[in-house]
Amino acid sequence: MKKLFVILAFAAIVMTSCNRTNPFLTDWNTPYGIPPFEQIRYSDYEPAVREGIARQNAEIDAIVANPAEPDFDNVIAAFDRSGLLLDKVAAVLDNLSGSMSTPEMINIVDIITPLETEHYSNIYMNADLFEKVKAVYDKRGELSLTREQECVLDKIYERFINNGVGLDEEGQARLREINQQLAALTLRFGNNLLAENNNFQERFGVSVSEYEATMAATEDRELRRQMFEAYSTRCNHGDDFDNKQVLLDILRLKIEEANLLGYETPAAHILHDKMAHDPATVDEFLAGIFKYAVKRAKEEVYDMQKVMDRDIAAGKLEAGSKIEPWDWFYYAEKVRKEKYDLDESEVMAYFQMEKVREGVFATASKLYGLQFEPIADAPKYHPEMEAFRVSDADGSLIGVILTDYYPRDTKRGGAWMSNFREQWCQDGENIRPIIVNVGNFNRPTADRPALLSIDNVETMFHEFGHALHGLLSQCNYITVSGTAVSRDFVELPSQINENWAFCKEVLQGYAKHYQTGEVIPDELVDKIIAAGNFNQGFATTELAAASILDMRWHELKSVDGIDVEQFEAQACREMGLIDEIIPRYRTTYFAHIFKSGYSAGYYSYLWAEVLDKDAFELFKQNGIFDQATATSFRKNILERGASEDPMVLYRNFRGANPDSEVLLRARGLK
């Protein structure tokens, strides 16, 4: 009777009094299968997740119960395509929890996260299922597998090992507890930061994404200091939104997790299957970049101090004033104007959001033959969203790209790419992806359209590079599709795409004055290109400093007795960071490493930049729109996902290993 009551109660949740069906439990009769956002209610998520978990459990039970000899199809491929309903719900929930993080959505995530965490722990600690996986893995040399299938098998086997299937009962029980606690803590870290970002905006009237541009334009030094102090101490005020204890608890659990799985530190655990492979390699890589970057940064301080000294002589500042961190953006902009006669406000007039996006699309069209068509009747989770059908040169469907570019108080800071649907092949049908690019660019005002800064333009090209990686995927299995690659390889497609943003030929196509329609003058293009390596000492130093700080935290064997502020200060001293610069992300708001999956992985941006600059050298040699080179990059990198070792993919495109010093040359540091 009790079981019947539970079934009836669940049915009552799924079906409303008006016989409404939970949209997650139906086929989506929408353009290209875009989620029917307007139909989804907050109350739909939990029952859909529970049903998704139940269905995947049944699929796994079927794999385990199958009496046939374990092989790739009945174990590995079957596992790869299990959990489709859960993936369907999670894709919407994960995306909207970052871009539409209302109190109701936060509450839903708090409820669902423990359910999903327990479910995945159950899967990867399922000894009977692992026995089937291991049976296939052990005889892989006898099977006629494609290279993609070998990679799928390796990744799935590694997931089980990495999630504690080999631990004893006590170890597995503790790892389950760790997983649940980490899930809750990372949510708390992100929610605290969202609240602090909103507090910053309420106090100063600008979003955190507008911080750098605002600092560069703010003449009032005291206001700059106040903004810097507020920005750089987010989640570090000893209040309800303080993240110091949260991050220490995260690290304590990560250390215990690493130890349980046989690693000394979280960094060793995380890096064992990445391109870099071990912490020592990453440390050496970052140190080699940092020494050149900080040397240039000191020269940049000298140049800025000369400008500040003139302000002192003119009576604008007190005698003896020195460049402080809150002065950097302001005086760097003054130096840039003097050296290159480049005024960002003048340039922004040519960077209307819609036109820049047209330039992004046009670049992809020239390189890969892609065509973009607006989808007028596309479902939206916010009115400012837009949707585009992406087709190949022959008109066949490549996928859908959604854009959501403006800040709001329910959206986390930064910019990102994600999927609402992955690419894979199902019963001979090539399921095409649905991709979203999210940003926090300057929104339109009453008297002008949305105008982007140089950094915004670069960011749009960057995130669309990720989108291309997802859109152009041609894999058979979800496990290796699209951007499901190692963390230190995933930034290659995004970062190489930045290289086209300010090429003269590309700029002349999209950079048109928002009032007159005038194409950006060659003189202004030359200034942008000439200033391309300006302030790279600062930019590289703050990025490398954050990467080193990330490694120092994740190389710890214990957090007992550690004071967060003192640890960060000591790490900065030891790396040789100058007083005028702080890491791009200080510890208490370093969401990349305490929430977003870049733990011991923030170095990936610099690591991948070596690849992207080296790869773009080939484009420059052959022509930036050379079709043979573009086709090779598409076929060898963008379409392949993780269906081959990343360095093999790179060498297949480039014909050689990357030049290790190309990044320093490209940034003008050597």
420-470: pLDDT as tens digits: 999 999 999 999 999 999 999 999 999 999 999 999 999 999 999 999 999
How large is the average pLDDT for residues 616-623? Answer: 97
3-state helix vs strand vs coil in the chain, percent to 5? 60, 5, 35
* Backbone phi, psi, residue 314, to 5°: -85, 0
Per-residue pLDDT band at 2 (split at 50, 70, 90)? very low
Closest to 35 measured CA to CA, from 398, 413, 387: 387
pLDDT digits (tens, 9 = 90+) for 158-174: 999 999 999 999 999 99
Q: Do 190 and 591 touch, CB atoms closer than 8 A? A: yes
**CATH number assigned to the domain covering 184-340+537-604:** 1.10.1370.10
| CB-based contacts of 544-547 (< 8 A; 24+ apart in sequence) | 544/286, 544/289, 544/290, 544/293, 544/606, 545/290, 545/572, 545/575, 545/577, 545/581, 545/582, 545/583, 545/584, 546/583, 546/584, 546/585, 546/590, 546/602, 547/282, 547/286, 547/602, 547/603, 547/605, 547/606
Best CATH choice for the domain 353-512 from the list 1.10.1370.40, 1.10.645.10, 3.40.50.300, 1.10.10.10: 1.10.1370.40
Provide the sign of the torsion angle of the four alpha carbons 578, 579, 584, 587, taken in this order.
Answer: positive
Q: Do the domains 184-340+537-604 and 353-512 sit in the same CATH topology, yes or no?
A: yes
Domain layout of the chain by residue ranges: 20-166, 184-340+537-604, 353-512
Average pLDDT, the chain: 95
How large is the average pLDDT for residues 29-43? Answer: 97
Per-residue pLDDT band at 18 (split at 50, 70, 90)? low
Over the range 30-51, which residues count as b (16 or more CB within 10 Å of their CB) and which as e? bebbbbebebbeeebbbbbbbb
Q: What is the pLDDT of residue 177?
A: 97
Q: What is the pLDDT of residue 364?
A: 98
pLDDT of 12 above 50: no
pLDDT of 666 above 70: yes
**pTM of the model as a whole:** 0.93
pLDDT of 344 above 90: no
CA distance between the termini of the chain: 76
pLDDT digits (tens, 9 = 90+) for 359-375: 999 999 999 999 999 99
Per-residue pLDDT band at 413 (split at 50, 70, 90)? confident
The CA distances from residue 616 to 246, 348, 526, 622, in Å, are: 41, 26, 20, 10
pLDDT digits (tens, 9 = 90+) for 99-114: 999 999 999 999 999 9
Annotated catalytic residue within 196, 257, 463, 639: 463
Stretch among 10-19, 428-437, 514-523, 601-610 having the lowest mean pLDDT: 10-19
Q: Do 424 and 404 touch, CB atoms closer than 8 A? A: no
**CATH number assigned to the domain covering 20-166:** 1.10.1370.40
- Identify whether 463 is a catalytic site residue: yes
